[in-house]
Amino acid sequence: MAQAGQTSRASLLPGIAALVLATGYLIALLAVEKQPLIIGLLAFGIAAVLAANWFGWLDPVSRSFADREDRLGCFAILAAFVVAVFFREDHFVLLLFVTVLLYVVATLGLNIQFGYAGVLNFAGASFFGIGAYTSAVLNTYTAIPHLLVLLIGGLLAALIGSLLLLPVLRTRGHYAALVTIAFALLLKTFLEVNDVLGGPQGMQVKPMNLFGWSFNDNIHIGSVELSFYFSYFVVSMVLLVGAFILVRRLERSWIGLNLDALRLDETAASCFGLDIARWKITAFLIGNFLIGIAGALFGMVGSFVAPNNYTFADSLILVSILLLGGIGNPWGLVVATFIVVVVPEKLQTIQEYRFLLYSVLVIAVLLFRPEGLLPRPVRSYFPGWRP
Amino acid sequence: MTALLQARGLTRKFGGVVALDRLDLDVVAGEILGLIGPNGSGKTTFFNVVTGIYGAHEGHISFDGADITKASSRAVYHAGISRTFQRSRLSLPLSIFDNIMIGNHKRLNQGLWFNLMRRGDFKREFEANYRAARALVEVFEPQLAERLFEPVAGLPMIDRRRIEICRALISQPKLLLLDEPSAGMTHDETKELMDDILQVREFNKGLTIIIVEHEMGVIERITDRCAVLNFGRKIAEGPYRQVAADRQVQEAYLGVA
Ligand SMILES: Nc1ncnc2c1ncn2[C@@H]1O[C@H](COP(=O)(O)OP(=O)(O)OP(=O)(O)O)[C@@H](O)[C@H]1O
Ligand SMILES: [Mg+2]
């Protein structure tokens, strides 16, 4: 560490510059339709990042984010709103954007489980689906307020996930992962044969309605018309910001330290009084809670749920986002989710081969940058804090 | 004087190997006891059984008046026993501060609500612990105290050993178990580390230490008393000079049957 770093806080400017460039790039990528242009833009993006890295321009950016995260977080929210307002009438783009936001919430949950506690969960999409089905059932058969439905979706994902706790705690490493895979397959079969839940055809989900504000209709403000997905964007954003703050505070606390300690060395951790089971359970349940809430909102956004939407393959996508972004780094997850969700959607030509793309991406990252695109830095309990 | 730690008839086997063989050992409060013996004589196993990593097949251990024979590692730590490991077991990607705080588990507020929601109070606790960790590391190496938020992975062996000892000391245990703290260090480094340990003891008068060590110079210098193990059995006990002159001990070290 440079002496200067000890005394003065890093400047905000590199962080803001990076956010502005990223926002502009994202808008361009989402706006362009022609395939050759998109390919060109992607190539340009990769080249630009590699070049910036080569010239050492990324270091000031990461220092800026490390020291001034609260402020830059507010700018990032602003940037997201700029993008959403830009595409205010475009259903397709807004839906894509909302999908990204909710996937980030889900991977934040996985990140607590795997990134911090080291508990692999290959049933992420299943718990996401449990949230979505919760919305489908409760919105159809009950009049429970929809915010409460989201909460119940999270709680149910945690509750049903706790069925896995015993096997996950008893077994280690790969065996625990196998248990979650078995669960994913079981759940899919259960949904397919269950007529109340619509069987293989799935069921409709009534759109969200908050205090009389129906998310079914476009919004009219004066002469401006906003897509109804804009409402979902706002709610998803609130959820994402809440989840992000939760994950950050968790990491920057003694609990985050506990999770790291038990992931890295269970024996040493128990020699220093750590209750391994207690903290693994805590991490697993909080993680599932986030995944479930995200899924419940996603169900309402998509207005339709079916067993085929929440398969083992989708769980693998969530895990690959985690590996790609940088295990344990929430900012990395945001970047990685954009890549994994947006690129195949824009590049129609490779739609068929998206799983091939994912595998190539993950293998490339594991080979050349094993800690992910944005590796997790050493814990700082309070960004910018100096002794 | 009553013993702080008392082992009676302690036996632990691994398959056909009897790693501890009806071991009786008393550790008096406030002393530094050297635990010595040839390779494979059961020293590490004794630490592992005391700290609940392995169970005992026979015998009892009591600590501070309570029976801890069947206690879990967690319970043993909470009772006031901390240890270091023969092969360093720090969490390499974590910072020096984080590693030391792992050892302070029982004195940190572990409540979910406190950690997530009462950030102001958490910050005060964090700052108090930062000062405590810093003061402790300064005893060992003032320069290291300036770098508490650097990852442990980049540090040389001697600094890692120091941090491991700080991790064990930060919670102010009654009994400290040191398993070959000088392993992998040069002669001079070893001397430096032992000075540090003696200095820490000046701060923390009540601290009792059991140290496993192969360097007899170290043992002679810092221990009040020694116990010698061979094939899991105690073959001698007493001040270093007396033990070193013991025939059985010399035979054990020379490998004479
Ligand atoms: N987990 C284990 N599984 C099987 N055998 C073990 C295990 N731990 C120790 N042993 C055996 O128990 C005996 C005592 O080992 P221990 O590690 O306690 O010796 P030590 O005195 O610490 O030796 P050193 O000076 O080499 O560290 C050895 O024969 C060893 O092989
Ligand atoms: Mg040993």
CB B58 within 8 Å of CB B10: yes
Q: Closest Cα to residue A66, out of A374, A324, A386, A377? A: A377
Of the residues B11, B21, B44, which should be mutated to test ligand 1's pocket, given the most ligand atoms within 8 Å of the CB? B44
Residue A57 has pLDDT above 50, yes or no: yes
Q: How far apart are alpha carbons A111 and A330 in whole angstroms?
A: 8
Specify the ligand 1 atom closest to the Cα of B214.
25
Rg from Cα positions in chain A: 21
Give the residue extent of every domain in chain A.
1-86, 90-368
Percent of chain A whose pLDDT exceeds 90: 41
Q: How far apart are alpha carbons B126 and B103 in whole angstroms?
A: 14
CATH class for the region spanning A90-368: mainly alpha
Residue A142 — very low, low, confident or very high, per pLDDT cuts 50/70/90? confident
Q: What is the pLDDT of residue A2?
A: 40
Alpha helices in chain A (DSSP H): 3-7, 13-31, 35-54, 58-67, 69-86, 91-110, 124-141, 146-161, 165-170, 174-193, 229-251, 254-264, 266-271, 276-302, 312-325, 330-346, 354-368
Q: Please give the structure tokens belonging to residue B5.
A: 């730690």
E-strand ranges in chain B read 3-14, 17-28, 32-36, 58-63, 66-67, 81-83, 175-179, 208-212, 225-230, 233-238
For B51, the closest of A250, A255, A271 (CB atoms) is: A271
Ligand nearest to the CA of B16: 1
Contacts of A376 (CB under 8 A, 6+ apart): A115, A326, A327, A328, A329, A332
Q: Do B94 and A264 touch (CB under 8 A)?
A: yes
CATH superfamily of domain region B1-80+173-257? P-loop containing nucleotide triphosphate hydrolases (3.40.50.300)
Q: What is the pLDDT of residue B123?
A: 94
Which residues in chain A are contacts of B103 at CB distance < 8 A?
Answer: 272
For A382, the closest of B123, B147, B151 (CB atoms) is: B123
Residue A41 identity: L
Ligand 2 mean position, distance from CA A347 (Å): 59
Residue-wise pLDDT for A92-118, tens only, equals: 899 999 999 999 999 999 999 999 999
Tokens 């962080």 belong to: A15
More confidently predicted of B170 and A140 = B170
Q: Please give the structure tokens belonging to residue B97.
A: 């501060």
Q: Please give the structure tokens belonging to residue A199.
A: 């069987």
First and final CA of chain A: distance in angstroms? 14
Residue A59 has pLDDT above 90, yes or no: no
More confidently predicted of B257 and A18 = A18
Residue nearest to atom 31 of ligand 1 (CA): B40
**Residue B245 backbone dihedrals phi, psi, to 5 degrees:** -85, -5
Residue-wise pLDDT for A291-320, tens only, equals: 999 999 999 998 888 888 888 888 988 999
Q: What is the pLDDT of residue A179?
A: 86
Q: How far apart are alpha carbons A379 and B97 in whole angstroms?
A: 10
Mean pLDDT of B28-53: 91
Mean pLDDT of A148-161: 93
CB B133 within 8 Å of CB B166: yes
CB A233 within 8 Å of CB A328: no
Residue-wise pLDDT for B167-212, tens only, equals: 999 998 999 999 998 887 888 888 888 888 888 887 777 899 999 9
Stated as kind and residue range, the H or E segment containing B77 is: helix B73-79
Q: What is the pLDDT of residue B158?
A: 86
Contacts of A28 (CB under 8 A, 6+ apart): A41
Residue B1 has pLDDT above 60, yes or no: no
Q: Please give the structure tokens belonging to residue A50.
A: 């590699």
Residue A221 has pLDDT above 80, yes or no: no
Which residues in chain B are contacts of A265 at CB distance < 8 A?
Answer: 89, 91
Ligand 1 mean position, distance from CA B13 (Å): 10
Mean pLDDT of A113-140: 91
Residue-wise pLDDT for B75-87, tens only, equals: 999 999 999 999 8
**Residue A204 backbone dihedrals phi, psi, to 5 degrees:** -75, 155
CB A304 within 8 Å of CB A204: yes
Q: How far apart are alpha carbons B224 and B243 in whole angstroms?
A: 12
CB B252 within 8 Å of CB B38: yes
Residue B255 has pLDDT above 70, yes or no: no
Q: How far apart are alpha carbons B172 and B207 in whole angstroms?
A: 8
| Ligand 1 pocket by Cβ (under 6 Å) | B 14, 17, 19, 37, 39-45, 86
Q: Please give the structure tokens belonging to residue B233.
A: 């059995």
CB A152 within 8 Å of CB A138: yes
- Chain centroid offset of residue A361 CA: 18
Cα separations in angstroms, A143 against A147, A239, A300: 11, 22, 15
Q: Closest Cα to residue A104, out of A376, A310, A324, A344? A: A324
A225 touches chain B (CB under 8 A): no
Q: What is the pLDDT of residue A250?
A: 96
> Most confidently modeled of A40-44, A137-141, A287-291, B184-188?
A287-291
Q: What is the mean pLDDT of chain A?
A: 87
Residue B27 — very low, low, confident or very high, per pLDDT cuts 50/70/90? very high
- Which value does ipTM take for this structure? 0.91
Q: What is the pLDDT of residue B254?
A: 65
Mean pLDDT of B142-171: 91
CB A239 within 8 Å of CB A100: no
Residue nearest to atom 12 of ligand 1 (CA): B19
Contacts of A305 (CB under 8 A, 6+ apart): A129, A132, A133, A135, A136, A198, A202, A203, A205, A299
The pairs formed by B12-15 with CB atoms below 8 angstroms and a separation of 24 or more are B12/B42, B12/B45, B12/B49, B12/B54, B12/B55, B12/B56, B12/B57, B12/B232, B13/B57
What's the residue count for chain A?
Answer: 387
Residue A280 identity: K
User: Residue A64, CB half-sphere, CA atoms under 13 Å: how many?
Assistant: 18
The least confident of A6-15, A35-44, A292-301 is A6-15
CB A146 within 8 Å of CB A153: no
Q: Please give the structure tokens belonging to residue B256.
A: 């004479």
Q: Closest Cα to residue A75, out of A27, A83, A372? A: A83
Q: Do A272 and B77 touch (CB under 8 A)?
A: yes
β-partners of residue B177 are B83, B210
- Chain centroid offset of residue A72 CA: 19
Residue nearest to atom 18 of ligand 1 (CA): B42
Q: What is the pLDDT of residue A345?
A: 83
Q: Closest Cα to residue A362, out of A373, A352, A348, A353? A: A373
Give the residue extent of every domain in chain B.
1-80+173-257, 94-172
Sign of the four-CA dihedral A18, A24, A30, A36: negative
A1 touches chain B (CB under 8 A): yes
Q: How far apart are alpha carbons B130 and B133 in whole angstroms?
A: 5
